[in-house]
Structure 1
Amino acid sequence: MRWRKPSLTRPQTRPWARLRIRRDDGSATIWAALTATVLCALFAVVLALGQVVTARHRAAAAADLAALAAAAHALRGESAACARAAETARAQGARLLRCAVRGEIADVRTSARAGPFAPTALARAGPVPPTPRR
């Protein structure tokens, strides 16, 4: 048997083996890019949800405090009570949307903006009616 020098120009592999290897070239890059995109989208949704929750809590706290302020100044008249409620809501980073005072009871609606979101909250404050004793 005579020794032959191997060819350096062409690898000694089967043609179907080369096709199988070439079909998978770059697939890990595509999967990594797809995974990174999905994770970024999920992170954006979580951040948006955090903004909404923060704005909702801010609006609710501002509504509660504004209603208490309006109820505390209800005897001075509706305009004075609602002016105090607007000042209190503004100090909390919210905006007073509606204020109504009937007797000593104040109904307030506020809105707090956080990014593109502006949730609203309602609150009512006034004296506690006496409970009948048995």
Structure 2
Amino acid sequence: MSRDRGSATVWAVLVVAVLGAVFGGVLLLGQAVAARHRAAAAADLAALAAAATWAHGPEAACATAIRVARAQGAELAGCRVLGEVAEVGARPATGPFTPTIRARAGPPEAAPVLPTGG
């Protein structure tokens, strides 16, 4: 009898275990990326909503940002409205990964005047 008898089964189990670990790692990475994108989208939309309603006061603008973030499945981590500019932070409301993403919205700053050559 050969001493190698049954070694293919051991190798097959080892390969399946390694592939399972790699697949699990890829799934976790995918969840982390999706959570980051979800938080970024919610932060962007909440900042835009707060900047659009700045004239009603900071409290009303932040309340609007909270409603928009909740509609996107996120929660607001912070909100600040200074004049027409709104800065918010948002993170996903559920899931194992909760990255906080910050966004800022408001009117564009004055474009710098470039010297003309000639």
TM over 0.5: yes
Does the CA contact (< 8 Å) of 1:110 and 1:122 recur in 2?
Answer: yes
Residue 30 of structure 1 and its aligned partner are, at CA, apart by 0.5
1:106 maps to 86
In the superposition, the TM-score normalised over structure 2's length comes to 0.91
Q: How many residues align structurally?
A: 114
2:11 maps to 31
Which residue identity does 1:110 align to in structure 2?
Answer: A
Looking at structure 2, the residues matched to 130 and 119 of structure 1 have their Cα atoms a distance apart, in angstroms, of 32
**Alignment RMSD, CA only?**
1.3
Looking at structure 2, the residues matched to 109 and 88 of structure 1 have their Cα atoms a distance apart, in angstroms, of 12
Residue 133 of structure 1 and its aligned partner are, at CA, apart by 4.7
Looking at structure 2, the residues matched to 115 and 62 of structure 1 have their Cα atoms a distance apart, in angstroms, of 15
SS where residue 81 of structure 1 aligns? Answer: helix
Give structure 2 stretches of 5+ with no counterpart: none
Looking at structure 2, the residues matched to 115 and 132 of structure 1 have their Cα atoms a distance apart, in angstroms, of 43
Looking at structure 2, the residues matched to 123 and 64 of structure 1 have their Cα atoms a distance apart, in angstroms, of 6
1:13 maps to none
Q: Kindly name which structure, 1 or 2, has the bigger radius of gyration based on alpha carbons.
A: 1
In the superposition, the TM-score normalised over structure 1's length comes to 0.80
SS where residue 29 of structure 1 aligns? Answer: helix
Q: Cα gap change, 1:94/1:131 in structure 2, threshold over 3 Å: closer, same or farther?
A: same
Matches within 5 A, 1:1-134: 18=1, 21=2, 23-113=3-93, 115-133=95-113
Instruction: Determine what percentage of the aligned residue pairs are the same residue.
Output: 59
Give structure 1 stretches of 5+ with no counterpart: 1-17
Q: Cα gap change, 1:25/1:132 in structure 2, threshold over 3 Å: closer, same or farther?
A: closer
Which residue identity does 1:121 align to in structure 2?
Answer: I
Residue 90 of structure 1 and its aligned partner are, at CA, apart by 0.6
